[in-house]
Amino acid sequence: MDTYHAETSLLGSILLESSLFKEVEIDSNYFNYSQHKVIFEAMEEAYKEKGKIDAVILTSVLGEKIGAVGGVMYLTDLANSVPSTSTFKHYEQILKESYQLQQAKLAVQEFLHQPSVTSLDRLVDDLKCHILTASSTEECTYSDLVGISEELMDPASEQLGFTTGLEPFDQLTGGLQRGDLVILAARPSVGKTAFALNVAAGHCKNGGSTLLFSLEMGRRQLLMMS
């Protein structure tokens, strides 16, 4: 399994949002590329000493090793290659699975090279660990999907977010939730602004407040539409 893209995306995510490092559940052994191992170890040191990770701090920590990892430009490219940090855990999971497969492969090779009761026990334990981890991940994902579908089919009123006054929309989405970024996308002149105004007005009618910015229409136009 080639993990280059997963490794660069995970490192780039940390460079974009250094607070993610405290959520990391792997170490440098999970990286297949030597320069990425060195960068991750430098990140560990930087976060321990500074509580923050960025290209400048990382360059300082790497010192003479900076050339071996591709230079400052490579660190910049890592950060620029990540459009969003939301998939950070997905890339970490790829590295976990790759590492598990590598360890299982090593155990098989050890047993084939020198068969013994000890190496057989290790082989069985490693394979069990891989199977249990994989099945646990699948079960968790399945359970999450079932739970989400049940909530969408029969949402409890107390679980709704901010209602918009558009009942079908609220039933499908559970209302607007704190922290959500909702993007309305469609071709011109099909009612995106009108829909957004209706959602904003519905929220206000239910006791909420709305702050509206428009780079396309003036205040009078928006008031006429609402």
Q: What is the pLDDT of residues 92-127, one digit of tens each?
A: 999 998 988 888 788 788 778 888 877 777 777 766
| pLDDT for res 150 | 65
Q: How far apart are CA 217 and CA 65, in angstroms?
A: 53
Band of pLDDT at residue 33, cut at 50, 70 and 90: very high
Phi, psi angles (nearest 5°) of residue 126: -65, -45
The pLDDT of residue 7 is above 60: yes
CA–CA gap between residue 45 and residue 62 (Å, rounded): 10
Q: Are 210 and 200 in contact (CB under 8 A)?
A: yes
Beta bridge partners of 162: 176
Cα angle, residue 178 at apex, residues 174 and 215 outer, rounded to 5°: 105
Helix 4-16 vs helix 88-113: crossing angle, to nearest 10: 140
Whether the pLDDT of residue 30 is over 80: the answer is yes
Question: pLDDT category, 2, cuts 50, 70, 90?
Answer: confident
* Per-residue confidence (pLDDT) for residue 32, from 0 to 100: 94
Q: Give the separation between CA 8 and CA 81, rounded to whole angstroms.
A: 8
Strand partners, 176: 162
pLDDT band at 35 (very low <50, low <70, confident <90, very high): very high
Most confident of 19-23, 140-144, 167-171: 19-23
Quote the distance between the C-alpha of residue 74 and its chain's center: 22
Looking at the chain, the whole-number percentage of residues with pLDDT higher than 70 is: 83
Q: Give pLDDT tens digits for 62-92.
A: 999 999 999 999 999 999 988 889 889 999 9
Decide if pLDDT at 13 tops 90: yes
What would the two tokens of residue 223 be?
Answer: 């008031």
The answer to whether 204 touches 210, Cβ cutoff 8 Å, is: yes
Which residue matches tokens 């990286």?
Answer: 31
pLDDT score, position 143: 59
Find out whether 110 and 119 touch, Cβ atoms under 8 Å.
yes
Residue 158 has pLDDT above 90, yes or no: no
Q: Answer for the pair 27, 41: CB distance below 8 angstroms, yes or no.
A: no
For 51-60, 107-116, 125-134, 138-147, which range has the lowest pLDDT when averaged over its residues? 138-147
More confident call, 157 vs 65: 65
Residue whose structure tokens are 């490579």: 74
